[in-house]
């Protein structure tokens, strides 16, 4: 069974220490997501986030993001022999597990420094998805960690309009609640929550309310159930694979079986759920799902929902 993962932070780790973190390392890997571990877990579609930490000075954020893109091209892409960058609908046709597929996503627009020209530049470099914020405010919007809880700024509205014109996917994970509703209510563009769970099951601020989940369902979006222990269970040290299933069951109870996928956040988390500690172990999650759900639903959640979403919403070739 093929697996789609909508979020990992490999490029951030490579940027921090490219000598320590090696994507094609087979023995004693230091990354949660390596080529060998993708192969072990049958992960055939992986989204690679470009994440610049909040502590990086503002004028250095663009440099950090560009270097992460360079690491992707130089150390991950491998001339397209083993990893293929997906930038348009045709890259997903015909459906084939070889080579493995990769999508570039910008996690937080901070690096773009309030410039639409930089958004277009990142598009030309292969980025097809943008999460507007990390946890804090930037030129586009407030993140979920901002106490004031502001929505899109005036520039933020221009930014989303330009994303729509380019044919990009918008990621609402980390976005403030007000920002979420600004996006949902004012813009018709493909929308996902790449790595968020259900507040009804675990009340972490990064998780989504039922109303937010219902909005994603109505929009025919995508929701990546994440493996971050503190998003899975109120007592993060007690989080187990079976607790992830509670989030899936809750989304299904809202009518959302068609939006479910997974967004691991591997390489972005220090604490791990037992037996779900790297990409090579996602088979344990599939095994747990198989105890409760029929195969056709498991295939939807592990592969078809994610694959079909991007097959539909990525821009056409040579647009």
Domain boundaries, the chain: 3-313
* β strands within 127-286, DSSP E: 127-131, 169-171, 191-193, 222-225, 260-262
The pLDDT assigned to 129 comes to 99
Q: Which residue do the tokens 């369902």 mark?
A: 217
CA distances from 76 to 11, 79, 109 (A): 9, 9, 23
Q: What integer pLDDT is reported at residue 78 of this predicted model?
A: 80
Give the per-residue pLDDT at 80.
77
Question: Rounded to two decimals, what is the model's pTM?
Answer: 0.97
Q: Which homologous superfamily does the CATH classification assign to the domain defined by 3-313?
A: Metal-dependent hydrolases (3.20.20.140)
Q: What share of the chain in percent tops pLDDT 70? A: 99
- Bridge partners (DSSP) of residue 51 are 107
Per-residue pLDDT, 281 = 99
Q: Please, are residues 193 and 208 in contact by the beta-carbon 8 Å criterion?
A: yes
Q: What is the pLDDT of residues 150-195, one digit of tens each?
A: 999 999 999 999 999 999 999 999 999 999 999 999 999 999 999 9
φ/ψ of residue 281, rounded to 5: -105, 5
Q: What is the pLDDT of residue 93?
A: 81
Residue 51 host element (H or E): strand 43-51
Q: Residue 81: what pLDDT?
A: 86
Q: In tens digits, what is the pLDDT along the chain, a chain of 319 residues? A: 999 999 999 999 999 999 999 999 988 899 999 999 999 999 999 999 999 999 999 999 999 999 999 999 999 998 778 999 999 999 998 766 678 999 999 999 999 999 999 999 999 999 999 999 999 999 999 999 999 999 999 999 999 999 999 999 999 999 999 999 999 999 999 999 999 999 999 999 999 999 999 999 999 999 999 999 999 999 999 999 999 999 999 999 999 999 999 999 999 999 999 999 999 999 999 999 999 999 999 999 999 999 999 999 999 987 6
Cα 34 from chain centroid (whole Å): 17
Per-residue pLDDT at 319:
64
Q: What is the CA radius of gyration of the chain?
A: 18
User: 175: closest CA among 198, 191, 151?
Assistant: 151
């Amino acid at each position: 069974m093929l697996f789609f993962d909508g979020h990992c932070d490999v490029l951030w780790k490579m940027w921090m220490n490219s000598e320590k973190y090696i994507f094609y390392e087979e023995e004693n890997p230091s990354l949660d997501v390596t080529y060998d571990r993708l192969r072990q877990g049958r992960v055939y579609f992986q989204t690679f986030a470009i994440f610049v930490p909040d502590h990086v000075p503002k004028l250095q954020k663009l440099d950090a993001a560009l270097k992460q893109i360079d690491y992707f091209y130089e150390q991950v892409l491998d001339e397209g022999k083993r990893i293929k960058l997906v930038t348009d609908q045709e890259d997903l046709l015909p459906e084939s597990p070889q080579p493995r597929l990769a999508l570039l996503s910008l996690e937080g627009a901070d690096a773009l420094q309030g410039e639409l020209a930089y958004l277009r530049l990142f598009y030309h470099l292969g980025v097809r998805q943008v999460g507007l914020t990390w946890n804090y405010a930037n030129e586009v919007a407030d993140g979920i960690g901002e106490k004031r809880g502001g929505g899109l700024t005036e520039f933020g509205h221009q930014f989303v309009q330009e994303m729509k014109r380019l044919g990009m996917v918008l990621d609402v994970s980390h976005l403030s609640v007000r920002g979420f509703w600004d996006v949902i209510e004012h813009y018709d563009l493909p929308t996902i929550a790449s790595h968020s769970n259900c507040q009804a099951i675990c009340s972490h601020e990064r998780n989504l309310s039922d109303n937010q989940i219902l909005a994603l369902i109505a929009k025919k979006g995508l929701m990546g159930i994440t493996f971050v222990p503190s998003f899975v269970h109120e007592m993060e040290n007690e989080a187990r694979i079976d607790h992830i299933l509670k989030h899936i069951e809750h989304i299904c109870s809202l009518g959302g079986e068609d939006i479910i996928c997974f967004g691991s956040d591997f390489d972005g988390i220090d604490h791990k759920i037992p037996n779900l500690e790297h990409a090579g172990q996602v088979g344990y999650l599939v095994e747990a799902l198989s105890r409760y759900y029929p195969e056709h639903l498991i295939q939807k959640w592990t592969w078809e929902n994610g694959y079909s979403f991007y097959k539909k919403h990525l821009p056409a070739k040579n647009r």
